[in-house]
Chains A and B, each alone.
Chain A
Amino acid sequence: MSEVENKVVPVESEEKDYVEDGKNKLIVKCKFCGSKILDKKSAKYITLEKELPLMQQDNNRKEGEIQNESVNEFYHVENMYTFENIGFTHTVANCKYLSCADCDAGPVGYYDMETKHSYVAISRIVHA
């Protein structure tokens, strides 16, 4: 039963240097242009598993194919007007993707049409 050793241990949010009191300690910005997406301490840190289309799709991919990756660290935004600057795409399968309002890079996260909550993928933004 040595499998236990391989089990992924969930990282405590307290260990993250960008999280404070369960929220984003720093300003959240676009990786590409620096546009301000969230003010500091405005969103909750959460972990959940979600497939998101890659920000940079391979140009040689098959037509119509979308390359995804699994993302598991997010900032949870309950009210969309909490965002400083953000774009919402048209709805795809009960969700809207979030994009940078200044350079349109994305998806930087998604918006759930049912709960009306937004989730910003931490791996796709920078802190400042």
Chain B
Amino acid sequence: MAKTYDYLFKLLLIGDSGVGKTSILFRFSEDAFNISFISTIGIDFKIRTIDLDGKKVKLQIWDTAGQERFRTITTAYYRGSMGIMLVYDVTNEKSFENIKNWIRNIEENASADVEKMILGNKCDLEAKRQVSKERGEQLAVEYQIKFIETSAKDSLNVESAFYTLARDIKAKMEKKQEASNPAGARSGAHQIRANEQQRKPTSWLSRCSLL
């Protein structure tokens, strides 16, 4: 059967236990009436279809098990993933410090060109905050990784974070394709313009507000 999409990106959620990886994948819902069965078993991964500059992109987003520590995560774990969301909890200093360890682990075990993004989750809990937004931004600059604060609880910035990561993976892939096939490549200026253009928000992206 013909492929009905342009790109398939496998993404991974990584970070200390309790930072909110599962909550980011699983939508918070007050309606206990229909989610109870699914929530007791838990979601392994989701498939999402998004439109990026006219291309149909499938995202396969994987949660990772809570007990996993960076010390035990090896190559097999990252196999096939093209994007990694590094999640810490803004109310938990230790989870922020561990981002460096997670990055080191990724560098040692994942494919060298895996796209990364840092998420400072639980930004709705302002009173309990231990890590300022500025420190998150500094870390991101240090590693040259994009950063955004999220709240899985309020579904704030979650969708736009995935959109941003997917966009960066796509841009990287197209750059590679262009490098290997310069004759067939379109004008670079055109692509940059297309990338900057904000797409009409979909239902999944309705509350997007990128920093």
Which residues of A are interface residues toward B (Cβ below 8 A)?
32, 34-36, 39, 42, 53-57, 66, 78-92, 96-97, 99, 101-107
- The minimal Cβ–Cβ distance linking B28 to chain A, given in whole angstroms, is 9
**Is there contact, CB below 8 Å, between A56 and B43?**
no
- Contact sample, A vs B, 25 pairs, CB 8 Å cutoff: A34-B203, A39-B4, A55-B34, A55-B37, A56-B33, A80-B47, A81-B47, A83-B47, A84-B47, A85-B49, A87-B38, A87-B46, A89-B42, A89-B43, A91-B44, A92-B41, A97-B41, A99-B38, A99-B43, A103-B31, A104-B29, A104-B35, A104-B38, A104-B39, A107-B37
**Is there contact, CB below 8 Å, between A105 and B35?**
yes
**Residue B8 lies at the interface, judged by CB distance under 8 Å to chain A:** yes
**Is there contact, CB below 8 Å, between B48 and A85?**
yes
**Is there contact, CB below 8 Å, between A81 and B43?**
no
Q: What is the CA–CA distance of A116 and B152 in the complex, to the nearest angstrom?
A: 30
- Nearest residue in B to A42 (C-beta to C-beta)? B4
Q: What is the CA–CA distance of A66 and B36 in the complex, to the nearest angstrom?
A: 11
**Residue B176 lies at the interface, judged by CB distance under 8 Å to chain A:** no
Size bracket, chain B contacts: 20 to 34
Chain A residue contacts of B207, Cβ below 8 A: none
Chain A residue contacts of B5, Cβ below 8 A: 81
**Is there contact, CB below 8 Å, between B204 and A102?**
yes
From A56, A78, A84, A86, name the one whose CB has the most chain B CB atoms within 10 angstroms. A84
**Is there contact, CB below 8 Å, between B4 and A104?**
no
Q: What is the CA–CA distance of A97 and B8 in the complex, to the nearest angstrom?
A: 22
Q: What is the count of residue pairs linking A and B with beta-carbon distances less than 8 angstroms?
A: 90
Q: What is the CA–CA distance of A90 and B26 in the complex, to the nearest angstrom?
A: 13
Chain B residue contacts of A80, Cβ below 8 A: 47
Q: What is the CA–CA distance of A61 and B9 in the complex, to the nearest angstrom?
A: 41
**Residue B45 lies at the interface, judged by CB distance under 8 Å to chain A:** yes
Chain B residue contacts of A106, Cβ below 8 A: 34-35, 37-38
With A81-B8, A81-B58, A88-B43 known as contacts, the answer to whether A53 contacts B37 (CB < 8 A) is yes
- Nearest residue in A to B43 (C-beta to C-beta)? A87
- Nearest residue in B to A105 (C-beta to C-beta)? B34
**Residue B27 lies at the interface, judged by CB distance under 8 Å to chain A:** yes
**Is there contact, CB below 8 Å, between B44 and A56?**
no
**Is there contact, CB below 8 Å, between A90 and B41?**
yes
**Residue B1 lies at the interface, judged by CB distance under 8 Å to chain A:** yes
Q: What is the CA–CA distance of A117 and B28 in the complex, to the nearest angstrom?
A: 28
Q: What is the CA–CA distance of A57 and B46 in the complex, to the nearest angstrom?
A: 23
- The minimal Cβ–Cβ distance linking B51 to chain A, given in whole angstroms, is 11
Q: What is the CA–CA distance of A1 and B35 in the complex, to the nearest angstrom?
A: 47
From B31, B33, B43, B203, name the one whose CB has the most chain A CB atoms within 10 angstroms. B43
- The minimal Cβ–Cβ distance linking B49 to chain A, given in whole angstroms, is 4
**Is there contact, CB below 8 Å, between A35 and B203?**
yes
- Which of A57, A79, A85 touches B36 (beta carbons < 8 Å)? A57
